Amino acid sequence: MPSPAPFKILSIIPPMTQLNTPYPSTAYLTGFLRARGFDALQEDLALATVLALLNRQGLTDLRDAALALPLEDRSGPVNFFLDHFADYAQTIDPVIAFLQGRDSTLSHRIAGRGFLPEGPRFVALDAYEDDGTGDPIGWAFGALGQTDRARHLATLYLNDLADVLRDAVDEGFEFVRYAERLSASQPNFDALAEALAQPAHLIDTTLERLALQAIDRHQPHLVLLSVPFPGSVYAAFRIAQCIKRTHPDIRIGLGGGFVNTELRDLADARVFDHVDYITLDGGERPLLNLIEHLQGKRSTQRLVRTFIKNDAGQVQYINLKEPDIPFEEVGTPTWDGLPLQKYLSLLDMLNPMNRLWSDGRWNKLTVAHGCYWKKCSFCDVSLDYISRYETASASTLVDRIEQIVAETGQTGFHFVDEAAPPKALKALAEELLRRGVQISWWGNIRFEKTFTPELCELLAQSGCIAMSGGLEVASDRLLQLMQKGVSVEQVARVTKGFADAGVLVHAYLMYGFPTQTVQDTVDALEYVRQMFENGCIHSGFFHRFVCTVHSPVGLNPDAYGVKLMPLPEGQFARNDVGFVDPTPLGQGIDHDLLGQGLKKAIYNFMHGVGVENDVRQWFELPKGQCPKTTVPRQKIAKALG
């Protein structure tokens, strides 16, 4: 008798994640499975879908969809697209080739502002400050050069087309947060189920065609759909739906960051009309057990961290206690099977750290699993991706790095740790230098005192080009309340050490934390202003504090002086939880209005504008309601000594 065909596993990245580099989850799983002898394959349908929509034929199909709209339903972007369709049809393929790095000389024509049709997104250029030359974007790029200017203009051009797809085809379409509202903290599956029941539109049919082509190419027994974000959930379910319809024998598993944070209390059996298994947390152990089950070697009741629909038609969570695969043994990620030459280097935001996220193809790797600190009160410290901290030796990490460089031919690495540990980074840097391995790398850390100027210099010598970390609310009182484990002055010294070593420094900042006052907010911005003024940080981003059910604030709100709002009834997703701050400190504060000032200020600080001014100018508060900062003007300068 002929031997049975090998068990094939196909991992899929659904729309939308990133367009400049593959999301790493499938690379991790594929590398792990291959190291265990499995026939594992992967596809990036996020990139494939965008490339199928953004070419001459795709735009022709989009034009037909737009023309089918009643005149009164056509938005400004749609009308502009229809009026200038011939220009879009002629330029789309060259622009994609340019953004893929296949035609760099086109930058001359794009930067000259006469090649691309300039739709509504280009209006944003008028908001850029003129440097006196008559060129409104000259100051924003400065010495960065013509190619970067062209890449930014080409990105605006693609964003115009994304707006047309949104207005003419699917109101939820975005290049990153696709149909996010259908799944993010949605207590019920109703919205997603209703969307999946609608007739397929242009984007759906494109995605389904590509998914079925991938199935025909690989003939898998098991398909794994990785959903890291709410913006990839709808497309994942669309893929699952069409596979179920055409290949009912193929089993489908769902996992990823969205599942791990939002579906831990899943009870809606309708989800299993589309997928067969949903796994939580680190995927290696649940996946090995699932494969054994599908091969008839393990019963259903011996699965690990897996949701199924049982014979009674109810959702059942099965979690046989078995040890996870040690981080040292998870193997090396592989990008084999992904079209590395086709990713798009975009230049959307002029924030220098945000640029690293969207520009260039980075090999993503993890220095350690989880977080060694795991105390921050705003973080999901109770979940596996934070709480289970494991490391690998520097030798193992550099072995992985060398193997990845040999496979991809690219030496840029993004270490995607929650907070890369200083001890492990020091050992990694020493091993890279010892072996003479030349890479460029960046990552996220805690700005703790262990990062001395000497260690910063060592990391820079090993190839570190950028570091991000949380300054959060720049207030020692609030940093202590959130158990961040750092002080403002300490962060200033650490960031200055990195900056002096030639490393780009980005600060994650927060507002609206429990008990935060207007005075706290003004003082925090003053600290941030001084850190820009003293060359400690180069970029930053303020985001509004969100309470999650898995964080210390969500688990123990009384300790932070807040009252949680009841979670809506439901059996699908839950993560964010509303709260009120009844303390005298938190009364009557419009954090959203303050946030507008914070974001405006930091955008200008990044470009050297208004750094020397009184920070009160950024807040549009009623007269008399914006207090003067209590932070001495030379506080950071004195801390740096």
Q: What pLDDT band is residue 564 in, cutting at 50, 70 and 90?
A: very high
The class of domain 8-46+181-329 in CATH terms is alpha beta
pLDDT at 576 over 80: yes
432 membership: H or E segment, kind and range: helix 422-435
- Identify residue 194 by its one-letter amino acid code: E
Asked if pLDDT for residue 127 goes beyond 80, the answer is no
The DSSP element (H or E) to which 255 belongs, if any, is strand 251-255
Asked whether residue 234 carries a pLDDT value surpassing 70, the answer given is: yes
Instruction: Place 581 in a pLDDT band, splitting at 50, 70 and 90.
Output: confident
Sequence spans of domains, the chain? 8-46+181-329, 51-179, 362-640
* C-beta of residue 462 within 8 angstroms of C-beta of residue 436: no
467: cis peptide before it, omega within 30°? no
User: Are 515 and 586 a contacting pair, CB within 8 Å?
Assistant: yes
pLDDT at residue number 342: 97
Give the pLDDT confidence of 176-188 residue by residue, as tens digits. Answer: 889 999 998 899 9
Q: What is the average pLDDT score of the chain?
A: 92
User: Would you state the torsion angle of the CA atoms of residues 158, 163, 166, 167, taken in this order, to the nearest 10 degrees?
Assistant: -140
Give yes or no for a contact between 16 and 45, defined as CB atoms under 8 angstroms apart: no
238 membership: H or E segment, kind and range: helix 233-246
Q: Which range has highest mean pLDDT (15-19, 243-247, 476-480)?
A: 243-247
**More confident call, 609 vs 130:** 609
CATH number of 362-640: 3.80.30.20
Alpha-carbon distances, residue 498 vs 493, 536, 537, 563, 635 (angstroms): 9, 8, 9, 40, 19
- Identify which of 74, 64, 81, 176 has the alpha carbon closest to the alpha carbon of residue 121: 81
> Which pLDDT band holds residue 131 (cuts at 50, 70, 90)?
very low
Task: Give percent of the chain with pLDDT exceeding 90.
Answer: 84
User: In this structure, are residues 574 and 184 in contact, taking their beta carbons and an 8 Å threshold?
Assistant: no
Any bridge partners for residue 277, and if so which? 253
What Cα–Cα distance (Å) separates residue 115 from each residue in 87, 95, 153, 484? 9, 10, 10, 50
Measured between alpha carbons, how far is 263 from 417 in angstroms, rounded to an integer?
22
Question: Are the C-beta atoms of 515 and 559 separated by less than 8 Å?
Answer: no
Q: How confident is the model at residue 354 (pLDDT cuts 50, 70, 90)?
A: confident
Tens digits of per-residue pLDDT, 142-193? Answer: 445 788 889 999 999 999 999 999 999 999 999 988 999 999 889 999 999 9
Q: Which of 247-261, 344-358, 401-415, 497-511 has the lowest mean pLDDT?
A: 344-358
